Amino acid sequence: MARRRRLSRVPGGQLSLWGDGAGDPRPTPAAGPCAPSALGGKRAHLIGIGGIGMSGIARILKRLGCMVSGCDAKATDLTAELAERGIAFSVGHSPEHIAGGPDLVIISAAVRDTNPELREAQRRAIPVLKYAQALGWLMQGRDGIAVSGSHGKTTTTSMIAWALRVAGANPSVVVGGLVPQLGGNALCGAREGPFVVEACEFDRSFHNLTPRAAVITNIDRDHLDYYSGGLPELETSFEQFARRTDPEGIVVVNGDDPAAMRATERIGATRETFGEGRDCLWRLDRFTRREGRTQFRVLHRGRDFGSYELLAPGLYNARNALACIAVCAFFEANRQSVREALATFRGAKRRFDRLGEAAGVTVMDDYGHHPTEVQVTLAAAREEYPQRRLWCVFQPHQYSRTRMLLPEFAQSFGKADRVIVPNIYAARDSDEDRQSVHARDLVQELQKNGVAAEYGHELQETLSRLLEVVESGDVVMTMGAGPVDNVAHDLLRELRKRETQHVVVSRL
C-alpha cells in the first residue's frame, strides 16, 4: 500500500545532496565513485555534454561542488551557457581530455564504444556511467519522481517540478527541455527535497531509476528502431520500469490508455489511475477552454477535488496536469499551492510555443515528432485559432520512424489547412534507413488523404516558400525534433522587417 509522504518546506541557499541510500528497500541503482553527497572537490568529465539531459546533469554536479568538464561534437547555446557557469567545454573528442584523471566519466547514450575518451577512461580504470545510470545514482536516498511515457513527459515533469517548488519543497530537477520558470533544463534543490526527472524509454534507460513515485503518461509505438518487437516489447519495458518503484510508493498511470494499463497490472507499488474514464481514480471533469485559459474540475474517488486552470490549451495538457495533481497529492503538497502553480505554469520551450506575431502572422513552434503528438497539437492549435488559416511545417525526425509510422503520419495532419514537409532529419539512421523513405513519400500520402501538402526541400527553401505565401491572419506552426524551429525564428524576423517597411500582405 502506498504510504503518503509529507513534504516539508525546505529553505534555499548553498545546496548539498542526499546520502548513500543505506537501508532503502528499492532496487540498487548504478553505483558511482562515491556517494553523491561527497562530490565536493571531485572531478567529473561528461562526453556528449551538449545534450539536453547531459547538460542538465552537468549543472547539478557543478552545484554540488564538483569540478566539471565536458566535450561534444560542436558548440551550442547550451554549451555556451555551461561555460558561463564555469564548466570547461571542448569541441571534439580526444584522450587528452581525460588527462589528469577525472574521478568519474559520464557518457551520453549516443557515445560509441570506439570513442577515444571513453577508451582512455577505461584504460585508466576510471568509473564510467551512462547518462541514465548517473540519474539513478543521483536519485539515491531521495524521494525520486520519474515521469515516463511516449508523449507528454517533458511537460508533466516540468509541471510537477514547478508545483513542488511553489509548494515550498525545493526540488531538484532534470528535464528534457528548457523550462524558463525552472531556470532551464535542470535545477539543484535542497538535500531534503524531492528529485524529479524525465524518464526516457529509449535504450531502456529508465530501468536505471528507482523512484518513490512514477508516472506513465501513455505508451505508444515509438523508438521502433530499438523496440523491434513493437508495442508488446514496449509494454514489457514499461512494466520493468514500473516494478522498480518503491513498493510503498505509487505509479500514476493513464487509465484511458490500454497499453499503460496492461503494463502495470502486476507491479508492487500502488497504481493510481488518471483520465476521463469513470473507473479512473483521478478523473478529469468539465473541461473547457475560455478566454485563453483551460479550466477543468478534478474528481478523486468520485468526490470533488477542486477546480483548476492552465494557460496551455489542449485536452492533453489537462491530462498532464491531472497526473501532476496525483503525484503532488501523494506527497501531501499544499493543494492551493499546486492550484496556483498550474495556473501560472508557462510550459517548456518548443511545446506549443508562441514565438510572436508580425505582419499579422502568428508564428508558433512545437517539438512534436510522432503522429500522436502532431495530431493533438494541431487539434489544440485549431481550437485556439478556429477561423484562421493554419500552416504546419513538419520536419520528419528519423528515416526509420518516418518509414515505420508513415500510415499514421498520413492521418495526423487533418486539422492543418496547408502542410509543408522539408527533408527528413536523420538521427541514428543507417544508410539503409536513409534510402528506405523520402519526405516526398509523406507528401504523397497526405495528398491522398486530401491534405494540401507540398515538399519543402531544405529548410532554407521552406523558409523562402513561406515568405512567398503566408498572409496576414495566418498561423504558422513549425513541428519536429530537428532544427525546424530555426525556420520559425527566421520567419518571424523576416516578417518583422516587413512590418518596419510597412509591407503587409493581405489575403484576397
Instruction: Examine the pLDDT at 23 and tell me if it is beyond 80.
Output: no
Least confident window among 56-65, 72-81, 497-506: 497-506
**What end-to-end distance do the CA atoms of the chain give, in Å?**
64
The answer to whether 89 and 66 have CB atoms below 8 angstroms apart is no
For 319-337, write each residue's pLDDT tens digit: 999 999 999 999 999 999 9
Position 10 confidence tier, pLDDT thresholds 50, 70, 90: very low
Report the alpha-carbon distance of residue 54 to residue 186 in Å, rounded.
Answer: 10
Per-residue pLDDT, averaged over 265-269, amounts to 94
Rg (CA), the chain: 23
Rounded CA-CA distance 471/358 in Å is 10
Beta-carbon contacts of residue 56 (< 8 Å; ≥ 6 apart) = 174, 175, 184, 185, 186
Is 421 a residue whose pLDDT tops 60?
yes
| Residue that wins the pLDDT comparison between 122 and 203 | 122
Residue 202 reports pLDDT greater than 90: no
Q: What was the pLDDT predicted at 314?
A: 87
Which residue segments constitute the domains of the chain, with CATH numbers given? 39-130 (3.40.50.720), 139-344 (3.40.1190.10), 353-500 (3.90.190.20)
In this prediction, residue 41 carries a pLDDT of 80
Confidence of residue 226 (pLDDT cuts 50, 70, 90): confident
- Residue 36: predicted pLDDT: 63
* Tens-digit pLDDT profile for residues 447-472: 999 999 999 999 999 999 999 999 99
The stretch 376-380 carries a mean pLDDT of 94
In DSSP terms, which residues pair with 442 in a beta bridge?
Answer: none
Rounded mean pLDDT, 428-454: 95
pLDDT at 250 over 80: yes
Q: What is the pTM of this model?
A: 0.85
Average pLDDT, the chain: 90
Kindly tell me if the per-residue pLDDT of 415 is higher than 60: yes
Q: What is the pLDDT of residue 18?
A: 27
- List pLDDT tens digits, range 268-301: 999 999 999 999 999 999 999 888 899 999 999 9
Distance CA 387, CA 268 (A): 50
Q: Is the pLDDT of residue 38 over 80?
A: no
- Say how far apart CA 65 and CA 106 lie, in whole Å: 17
Question: Is it the case that residue 12 has pLDDT exceeding 70?
Answer: no
Three-class DSSP category at 273: strand
Q: What is the mean pLDDT of residues 147-166?
A: 96
The 10 Å Cβ neighbour count of residue 502 is 7
Residue entry with cell 561527497: 38
pLDDT of residue 109: 86
Q: Which range (24-33, 256-265, 306-315) has the least confidence?
A: 24-33
Per-residue pLDDT band at 189 (split at 50, 70, 90): confident
Determine how β-strand 144-148 pairs with β-strand 67-72.
unpaired
Q: What is the pLDDT of residue 425?
A: 95
Max CA pair span of the chain: 72
β-pairing verdict for 213-216 and 144-148:
parallel
Which residues are identified as catalytic?
153-154, 198
Tell whether the model's pLDDT for residue 19 goes beyond 50.
no
**Stretch 380-396: mean pLDDT, rounded?**
96
Question: What stretches of 33-143 adopt beta strand conformation (E)?
Answer: 43-47, 67-72, 88-91, 104-107, 128-130
Handedness of CA 182, 185, 188, 191 (dihedral sign): positive
Q: pLDDT grade, residue 24 (50/70/90)? A: very low
Cα–Cα nearest to 216, from 152, 136, 132, 147: 147
Min mean pLDDT across 310-319, 449-458, 474-483 is at 310-319
Measured in degrees and rounded to the nearest 5, phi and psi for residue 490 equal: -70, -40
3-state DSSP assignment of residue 140: coil
| Percent of the chain surpassing pLDDT 70 | 91
* Mean pLDDT score, 137-158: 93
Q: How confident is the model at residue 502 (pLDDT cuts 50, 70, 90)?
A: low
pLDDT of res. 15: 27
